[in-house]
Amino acid sequence: MDNSTRNDVDWRVLCEQASKEEDPERLIELVQRLNEALEERQRRRIEKQFYNAPDVVPGLCGERAVAGF
């Protein structure tokens, strides 16, 4: 299992644990861990989008100007 898949499973496991937790202190701890896991997941997705984005988007701001149309 790769790192992203493992982390995706981790947040789901944390959700499941939090939904069944009866101890308020433990619930707070689980929710904090869940927030951290989801923030990390979002950060990775944004980085992936940024690094996989094309350098030039055809038809936007420049393609016509550069071609002289």
**For position 23, what pLDDT does the model report?**
97
Residue 30 lies inside a defined structural domain of this protein: yes
Which comes out higher in pLDDT, residue 66 or 12?
12
Residue 68 lies inside a defined structural domain of this protein: no
Question: Sign of the CA dihedral 46, 48, 51, 53?
Answer: negative
CA 44 to chain centre: 5
**For position 25, what pLDDT does the model report?**
97
pLDDT value at 4 more than 60: no
Residue 48 lies inside a defined structural domain of this protein: yes
Residue 21 lies inside a defined structural domain of this protein: yes
Residue 25 lies inside a defined structural domain of this protein: yes
Distance separating alpha carbons of residues 51 and 23, to the nearest angstrom? 42
Distance separating alpha carbons of residues 59 and 33, to the nearest angstrom? 43
Question: Sign of the CA dihedral 45, 48, 50, 56?
Answer: negative
Please give the tally of structural domains in the chain. Answer: 1
Q: Is 58 helix (H, G, I), strand (E, B) or coil?
A: coil
- The pLDDT of 28-46, averaged and rounded, is 93
- The pLDDT of 35-62, averaged and rounded, is 77
